[in-house]
Amino acid sequence: MGRRLIEVLKAEQENDIDGYHLSKFQEEGLCKIETSLGEWTKAQFKRCDALVFIGATGIAVRAIAPYLESKAKDPAVLVVDECGQYVIPLVSGHIGGANKLARTVSKILGAQAIVTTATDLEGCFAVDEWAKENELYITDYKLARDISAALLHGKKVGLECDGVLEGILPEGIWKGLGQEEQESKPLLGMWVGWQKQQPFVKTLWLIPPVVTVGIGCRKGVSKAQIDMLISQELARLEIPLEAVKCIGTIDLKKAEEGLLAWTKEKSKLFVSYSVSTLMSVEGHFTASAFVKQVTGVDNVCERAAVQASHGGELISFKTALEGVTCALAVEGYKISFVNKGCSLGSQSRH
């Protein structure tokens, strides 16, 4: 019975879905779980964005219970009954996307999604779900809960942002424009920005990953040397690491172990550019005849930072320390209130 449901889900998705069965419930076409269900679940929690258990809710609850950490880390977990009538999101309803995934699965199977989170039941704006949709880092989950509670009680919650807002503001979200509106500013609100601000008495800071780091370096520089300079510059400008989107450099340095190790440790993107691409970047840069002689580019870090930010604003010019140069740029960004939906892509299944 479970195999049929998995086949239906696979048929509707472009990306592969892994299907598993317990050893005592062999299903042709599914992978066999060689360990206990608990050990298998532990491994999936580390590698998967979502798990769908087909069977009894109690079995799924007991399987995941020892490995639950927090809503910020746990994967989405759903349960589907073996007849395909009901889809129940168990954990990570908003941040993990379990609620949206449940609706997607229920639509595919012709089932009913059983969603129990209060904001969904009341049709209220959910800040954690919205933050995930817009790739915003939530700095304070208690304040996020306070915002949900305020909206559920019919109170206004403020919003200020240093990016562009798209879409229609949800009911209960306040964004003052003129002096008259400012006088009615709520005490509780949200600030979306790459540098901290406190526009409300109680402000939830949501951080967009829009800062790019351009790096130039001598051959063989260590991860520690790179980290020292990047950390120094972020601290000087009061920019959190969560605001950093990626590191950019020249192709000549794309295999530098120190750079690769830093980006892997910090879970940041790493991009490199050709000489011609960097030289085509428009702007005023700190030129160096020596750097151009060695690399073919008059300035690596500033040009790479701007290129990685898609022509954004350079906010920190070339700074050097122990064989490493660094520059920072910020790209323009948009924050949307348009529902982006949810797909089943790259998620494992049981």
Fold equal for 127-208 and 211-330:
no
The pLDDT, as a whole number, for residue 260 is: 96
pLDDT band at 303 (very low <50, low <70, confident <90, very high): very high
The CATH number, out of the four listed (3.65.10.10, 3.40.1390.40, 3.40.190.10, 3.20.20.60), of the domain defined by the range 127-208? 3.40.1390.40
The two structure tokens encoding residue 293: 């002689």
CB distance 90 to 74 below 8 Å: no
| 55-70 pLDDT per residue, tens | 888 988 988 899 888 8
pLDDT at 20 over 70: no
Domain 211-330 fold: Nucleotidyltransferase; domain 5 (3.30.420)
| 22-65 pLDDT per residue, tens | 655 566 656 666 678 888 888 888 888 888 888 888 988 988 89
* Long-range pairs of 147-156 with CB within 8 A, sequence gap ≥ 24: 147/188, 147/190, 147/204, 148/118, 148/119, 148/124, 150/188, 151/119, 151/124, 151/125, 152/118, 152/119, 152/122, 152/124, 155/186, 155/188, 156/186
pLDDT band at 117 (very low <50, low <70, confident <90, very high): confident
Q: Is pLDDT larger for residue 326 or for residue 108?
A: 326
CB distance 341 to 100 below 8 Å: yes
pLDDT band at 346 (very low <50, low <70, confident <90, very high): very low
| 220-231 pLDDT per residue, tens | 999 999 999 999
The pLDDT, as a whole number, for residue 222 is: 95
| 242-277 pLDDT per residue, tens | 999 999 999 999 999 999 999 999 999 999 999 999
Q: Rounded to an integer, what distance in angstroms lies between the CA atom of residue 211 and that of residue 237?
A: 11
- The CATH code of the domain at 2-116 is 3.40.50.11220
The pLDDT, as a whole number, for residue 313 is: 95
Q: Where are the domains of the chain?
A: 2-116, 127-208, 211-330
pLDDT at 81 over 50: yes
